[in-house]
Structure 1
Amino acid sequence: MIHGSRVSLFLASRAIKRGGKVGTLLNILIIAMVFTNMLIFSGFIGGGVVDMFYDQTVDYVTSDVVIRPDHDERTLFHVDELLDRVNRVPGVARASVRYSIGGTLSHKGSMVSIPITAINPRDEVEVTKIHEHMIEGSDFLSPGDDGIVLGMFVAGHEDPGMDFFDSLGGVRAGDSIEVMYANGVAREYLVKGVFATKSYQADYMAFVSWEEMNEVLGYENTEATEVLVRAFPGEDLFTLKMRLMDFGVQDRVETWEEAMGLEVEDMVETFLIIDTIAIVVSMIIAIVVIGIVFTIKTINNRRQIGIQKAIGIANRIIIGSYVTQALFIWLFGTILGMIIVNMLFFYFSAHPLETPRGDIVPVFEMSAMLENAAWLAVASGLAGFIPAWRITRENTLDAMRG
């Protein structure tokens, strides 16, 4: 067995040395491109886009953990006591309360109906990163502020064709807008700023200070529609969720993944299906391309194979030599592909792919690289095995005649 393997390896090395270097290099390049193609979609879509969605959800919408009313309640009660309790829980970096009430915003004939969310700015800037993405105005809200901050999709553009949703038609920082709250209170606000996070959910929101909401309600508000909790880095979120419940939080406590529900699962499942299709297509391409190369090679070497059989070299050794040649091309093609993939990673880490949805940095995991390399090895082995197996089955004299 070992002797046969050595003979196969010897025959393969002789064939590679005697073969055309340009052809071998082209085959290696083809495998490298196929390997890169197998990873590029999952890296950008299955990894980059999904991670971007995760980051946007945590940084702008739910933070790490969110506390919401039970399904039969509309608000959280005694929110000051709840906030104190949450902030004492080990693993909690900071918590921020939000209270939302429906309202209609209007400006020069343009109207938008969305929830208006009251926040404590000091807490909010510790829990979310919305304040880091102001594109109009110099500052986020401050405690006691009587202005309003709008998301980019709410402010909109003067050209309605540029808007994804109903908007105020191009409101900018310093403009005045009118707000009619669901409780019948009308207010006029100076727009303090406009933010753009590239999150569709966050950018269609409007914020006022907690004190301003108290003025709108006409009393000191002690209720909230949700409490956002930022965990310390490295904290296990499910463990933190259970810890919050152990500390007496009786309301609905969810990690950000649970809060997003089926939206996350459906998106990830869709990307996995598309990624699998892309890998299968790449595998077929690899088998076809390498198969064609080795089919032509074995046909051209048909006479040589017949002579090898005539002098007593076993079929399995001859087949093994062609499989070894295919695996040689696979090995160096995969190494080159890994170099290309890592070069792409370093480039896009420094220069993220900008999209309207957000900046995408591809994620290439080593486990995915090794898995795809293994599948490509199988494809390459088959592409080398099948043509050689077919030729070795022929009659020796017929093969020697070419």
Structure 2
Amino acid sequence: MKTVNIPVYLAVRAIQRGNKGTFLLTIMIVALSFVLMVFMPSLTAGLTGAYNQQVSDYQYADLIIEPDDDNQVLSDTHMLVRTIERTPGIAATSSHMIVSTSLESDKKILSRGVVAIIPSDEERVTKTFGKITEGRYLSDGDTDVILLGSVLAGHDDEKKDKMESLGGVHAGDSLKVTFQNGIVRKMTVAGIFETGSISADNEAFITQKEMESVLGPTDKSSLILIRSSGAETLAQTKIRLMEFGIRDDIKTVTEKGEGIIGDALKSFSLLNSIMLVFSLVIASIVIFIVVYINTTHQRRQIGILKAIGIPERDIIRDYLVQVAVIYGCGALCGVALFTCLSEYFRAFPLQFPAGAVYPVFDLTVLLPSLMVLGFVSLIAGFIPAKQATSEDILDLVNR
């Protein structure tokens, strides 16, 4: 019991007699170091989550079936869709057929792949129908009409365009659409949608009925979107689809999203590592300096403690307790500060192409960061304390 009480007593007395400003400043530096360590990983997690959610809502639903490497399209789509819909855990499906076209407005001509859909099926798997800003959504029986994303439609002022566009097309305008077989159709823009995703808003949709009137009936598709019922995880649903005989390439929305933004996530991971290293270095240096200054100013006191029989290990533990108090207060302040930042950005999120993004309070990020920062803090406090207590008593007392 004695070896525990003495270091705690000495540490409490040292903190009480020490400079309160220095003590509080050190706590704030530890707190800020912690925030730096967790902010970027948490923001990356928020960005990834927002992107995956956006991809799920407006582009690929929960799972996607694509042709394998040996095929360009999915054959026997109707049979494939029936098999998928019989699989437990599947709520809805929608087949997409991408058709090569040339879109011509009064201002621009663009070569673009137009997506042929059955609108009633599409409404069950994506939320694009709820993002119409002009005009209306498509109906299953529509012909000679087309639905455009806001990025593809563009602005009247081309300086506002994020990508190459049709130069400011609006609902009710006419487009000349040239299909891959050479047939030309004059099509009316039924509506404009805006989801906030650049890739989703750069798409154009026509009905499957319109496609078949131009290219003839077909039982092929470029991909099939699947919305799960949520009874199982997407990975489990993917395995179940394979068990029901689906041999084409099946991807979850997370796998599809990571494939699209993989390079960006790698860059963020590199930034996270850099921030982590700098934060740990700053925190360890500050704690080292504080403990070193304390031991330097208290050399005579350390010599006296050794002279009256206080074990060297208890003197070292005294400084480690001081460091633990500084780290504990700093960690609590850091968590509180990070929580405040998270709530602020939740109320006023950062705007990314993936949508509204805010840091995610994730224990799998916070706990390892707290452990690493605590370990580094103790090491930074142990080294100068060990150096001071290892000197001879007379050298300590006479300086």
Work out whether the TM-score is over 0.5.
Answer: yes
Residue matched to 2:296: 299
CA distance in 2, matches of 1:251, 1:355: 33
Residue matched to 1:349: 346
Residue matched to 1:327: 324
CA distance in 2, matches of 1:264, 1:158: 30
CA distance in 1, matches of 2:8, 2:187: 80
CA distance in 2, matches of 1:232, 1:344: 35
The answer to whether the Cα contact below 8 Å between 2:128 and 2:195 also exists between their aligned partners in 1 is yes
Deviation of residue 31 (structure 1)?
1.4
Q: Deviations over 1:191-230 (max 9, x none)?
A: 222222232321221001111112222x233221111001
The answer to whether the Cα contact below 8 Å between 1:98 and 1:118 also exists between their aligned partners in 2 is yes
Residue matched to 2:7: 8
One-letter code aligned to 2:36: N
Deviation of residue 311 (structure 1)?
1.8
Pick aligned residue for 1:365 from 342, 362, 367: 362
One-letter code aligned to 2:169: V
Alignment of 1:308-319 (within 5 A): 308-319=305-316
Deviation of residue 370 (structure 1)?
1.3
The answer to whether the Cα contact below 8 Å between 1:111 and 1:166 also exists between their aligned partners in 2 is no
Residue matched to 1:80: 78
| 1:175 and 2:177 aligned | no
Residue matched to 1:111: 109
Alignment of 1:85-234 (within 5 A): 85-137=83-135, 139-146=136-143, 147-217=145-215, 219-234=216-231
Unaligned stretches of 5+ residues in structure 1: none
Q: Deviations over 1:27-76 (max 9, x none)?
A: 2222111111111111112x111112221222222221111223222222
CA distance in 2, matches of 1:75, 1:355: 33
CA distance in 1, matches of 2:312, 2:189: 81
Where 2:309 maps in the other structure, the secondary structure is coil
Deviation of residue 258 (structure 1)?
4.1
One-letter code aligned to 1:37: L
Deviation of residue 254 (structure 1)?
2.6
CA distance in 2, matches of 1:95, 1:104: 28
For residues 248 and 383 of structure 1, do their structure 2 counterparts lie closer, same or farther at Cα, with a shift above 3 Å needed? closer
Residue matched to 1:37: 36
Deviation of residue 253 (structure 1)?
2.5
Deviation of residue 181 (structure 1)?
1.2
CA distance in 1, matches of 2:289, 2:130: 55
Where 2:383 maps in the other structure, the secondary structure is helix
TM-score (norm 2): 0.93
The answer to whether the Cα contact below 8 Å between 1:195 and 1:203 also exists between their aligned partners in 2 is yes
Residue matched to 1:275: 272
TM-score (norm 1): 0.93
Where 1:38 maps in the other structure, the secondary structure is helix
The answer to whether the Cα contact below 8 Å between 2:153 and 2:165 also exists between their aligned partners in 1 is yes
Residue matched to 1:54: 52
Residue matched to 1:18: 17
Q: Deviations over 1:337-395 (max 9, x none)?
A: 11222222233233322233421022121122111111111121122112222222333
Q: Which moved more, 1:117-126 or 1:267-276?
A: 267-276
One-letter code aligned to 1:335: L
CA distance in 1, matches of 2:70, 2:142: 33
Paired residues, number? 398
CA distance in 1, matches of 2:39, 2:285: 20
Unaligned stretches of 5+ residues in structure 2: none
Where 1:149 maps in the other structure, the secondary structure is strand
Residue matched to 1:385: 382
| 1:285 and 2:282 aligned | yes
The answer to whether the Cα contact below 8 Å between 2:89 and 2:231 also exists between their aligned partners in 1 is no
CA distance in 1, matches of 2:131, 2:300: 71
Deviation of residue 127 (structure 1)?
0.6
The answer to whether the Cα contact below 8 Å between 2:177 and 2:185 also exists between their aligned partners in 1 is yes
The answer to whether the Cα contact below 8 Å between 1:112 and 1:154 also exists between their aligned partners in 2 is no
Q: Which moved more, 1:315-324 or 1:188-197?
A: 188-197
CA distance in 2, matches of 1:341, 1:259: 31
Where 2:140 maps in the other structure, the secondary structure is coil
Q: Deviations over 1:52-104 (max 9, x none)?
A: 22212222222211112232222222322222221121100100011111111
CA distance in 2, matches of 1:95, 1:121: 11
For residues 260 and 34 of structure 1, do their structure 2 counterparts lie closer, same or farther at Cα, with a shift above 3 Å needed? closer
Q: Which moved more, 1:284-293 or 1:297-306?
A: 297-306
One-letter code aligned to 1:31: V
Q: Deviations over 1:278-317 (max 9, x none)?
A: 1111000101112222222221222211222222222221
Where 1:254 maps in the other structure, the secondary structure is strand
